[in-house]
Amino acid sequence: MSFRKKLWIGLILLALASPVGIILPDKFNAGDAWGEWNADKLKEMLGFVPRNLAKLSGLWHAPMPDYGFAENASPAIQYIGYITSGILGIVLAGSAIYFISKLLFKKEK
Amino acid sequence: MHIPDGYLSPQTFLPMYGVSATIWGIGLKKIKKQLPLKHIPYLSMAAAFSFLVMMFNVPIPGGTTGHAVGGGIIAILLGPWTAVVAVSTVLVIQALVFGDGGITALGTNCFNMAIVLPFVSYWTFKLLNGRATSGKRVYVSSFIAGWFGLTVASAFAGTELGLQPLIAKAADGAPLYAPYPLSVALPAMVGEHALVFAPVEGLITALLLGYFLKNEPETVFAINGGPK
């Protein structure tokens, strides 16, 4: 098998293993990353939500928030959503780079 | 370290967009000159790799979570400018599709994770590794390079967040954006990264570099100046 093929397989294996990234924090009772709390969590922590933060925080509604299909989904659905996001990440990142390179190198051909 | 929308004031995120956009422009020109065509699959893989690494949240028991970025090893393998483009692309996808990191904060997040991190890692590696091509020295310098790159990036993020209460306050003194002062934000961000998340970045950097040196040594940019 070629070296590159091995690397692509490694990436797919990483995507399949990605639910470890939600299982471990769950097991060790670890929460959000520092400074990435949502408005509800901030309200709980501070007793208030900074005014402009509240306004800006709802600016964008991502199609797959938090790398999943739905909030409060069952663990199985969460893992499937996470793996799907990982595969989607490979496809999106890979093709974005492909198109950027096409644009960059077009003129020389 | 993906700062969400609302945590940064426009006085912060607008100039940071300017800085990052300028560096993206330079980066694209650089890779157009330096990157061989047959190397593009590696660039795609690097971006996919960084995306996946960031999904592996590492817990601090009872506390916060964080993750490696993979920017250090990409910089060493493919060059720092290639890492700028690969990791920035990933951060844009994460913000738009997965809501990880804000749209307004994108310039800032790219600056921290896709610019500061790869360049700090790359130069740390070059400095410590010298001309070594194998052995203990390569492993130690690449571990420190990955560790230091992510730690310095976290110091930038902590500073940007911690400055917000000084930059924008309501009439009654309440913070309008990120609420914690520098004295809280900076030690929190640097502490957890230096002790927990950055060692993971260091480990990934050292192990992957070892793997590449064993299998495809001629591809390692930081040692050979890139593939021929």
Q: What is the ipTM of this complex?
A: 0.95
Domain assignment of residue A78, yes or no: yes
Domain assignment of residue A98, yes or no: yes
| Total tally of structural domains belonging to chain A | 1
| Total tally of structural domains belonging to chain B | 1
Parent domain of B104: 10-218
CB B59, CB B65: distance < 8 Å:
yes
Domain assignment of residue B3, yes or no: no
Amino acid of residue A66: D
Question: Is residue B65 helix, strand or coil?
Answer: strand
- Kindly report the CATH number assigned to the domain that includes residue B80: 1.10.1760.20
Residues of B in contact with A35 (CB under 8 A): 3, 7, 157, 161, 178, 180, 185, 188-189
The pLDDT confidence band at residue B134, using thresholds 50, 70 and 90, is confident
Domain assignment of residue A51, yes or no: no
Domain assignment of residue A55, yes or no: no
Q: What pLDDT digit, counting tens, does each position of B79-117 carry?
A: 999 999 999 999 999 999 999 999 999 999 999 999 999
Domain assignment of residue B4, yes or no: no
Q: What pLDDT digit, counting tens, does each position of B17-38 carry?
A: 999 999 999 999 999 888 777 7
pLDDT of residue A72: 82
Q: CA-to-CA distance for B108 and A26, rounded, in angstroms?
A: 29
CB B197, CB B26: distance < 8 Å:
no
pLDDT of residue A109: 46
Domain assignment of residue B162, yes or no: yes
pLDDT of residue B228: 46
Instruction: Give the residue carrying structure tokens 């093709």.
Output: A95
The pLDDT confidence band at residue A28, using thresholds 50, 70 and 90, is very high
Domain assignment of residue A70, yes or no: yes
Domain assignment of residue A54, yes or no: no
- Reported as half-sphere exposure (CB side, CA atoms, 13 A), residue A96 has a value of 20
Q: CA-to-CA distance for B219 and B206, rounded, in angstroms?
A: 16
- Window 73-92 of A, Cβ < 8 Å to B: 82, 85-86, 88-90, 92
Q: What percent of chain A has pLDDT over 90?
A: 84
Q: CA-to-CA distance for B102 and A106, rounded, in angstroms?
A: 32
Contact residues for A89 (Cβ-Cβ < 8 A; gap 6+)? A15, B48, B51, B52, B55, B90, B93
Domain assignment of residue A81, yes or no: yes
Parent domain of A69: 3-32+63-108
Residues of B in contact with A71 (CB under 8 A): none
Q: What percent of chain B has pLDDT over 70?
A: 99
Q: Does A60 touch chain B (CB under 8 A)?
A: yes
How distant, in Å, are the alpha carbons of B28, B53, B133, B192 from that of A33? Answer: 31, 15, 37, 10
Residue B122 neighbours by CB distance under 10 Å: 23
Token pair of A51 as six digits: 């005014």
Q: CA-to-CA distance for B151 and B198, rounded, in angstroms?
A: 6
pLDDT of residue A108: 53
Measure CB to CB from residue A60 to each of B86, B90, B99 and give the nearest one.
B99
Cβ distance of A60 and B67 shorter than 8 Å: no
Please give the residue that has the higher pLDDT: either B172 or B53.
B53
pLDDT of residue A106: 74
Cβ distance of A34 and B67 shorter than 8 Å: no
Q: CA-to-CA distance for A19 and A86, rounded, in angstroms?
A: 9
Domain assignment of residue A19, yes or no: yes
Instruction: Give the residue carrying structure tokens 């420190």.
Output: B144
Cβ distance of A52 and B177 shorter than 8 Å: yes
User: pTM score, two decimals?
Assistant: 0.95
Domain assignment of residue B38, yes or no: yes
Cβ distance of A67 and B100 shorter than 8 Å: yes
Token pair of B124 as six digits: 């740390």
Cβ distance of B47 and A94 shorter than 8 Å: yes
Q: How high is the mean pLDDT of chain A?
A: 93
Q: CA-to-CA distance for B186 and B156, rounded, in angstroms?
A: 8
Helix or strand run (H / E) with residue B66 = strand B65-66
Measure CB to CB from residue B59 to each of A4, A25, A97 and give the nearest one.
A25
Would you say residue A18 has pLDDT above 80? yes
Which one-letter DSSP state was computed for residue A18? T
Q: What pLDDT digit, counting tens, does each position of B162-199 carry?
A: 999 999 999 898 999 999 999 999 999 999 999 999 99
The pLDDT confidence band at residue A107, using thresholds 50, 70 and 90, is low
DSSP β-bridge partners for residue B175 = B169
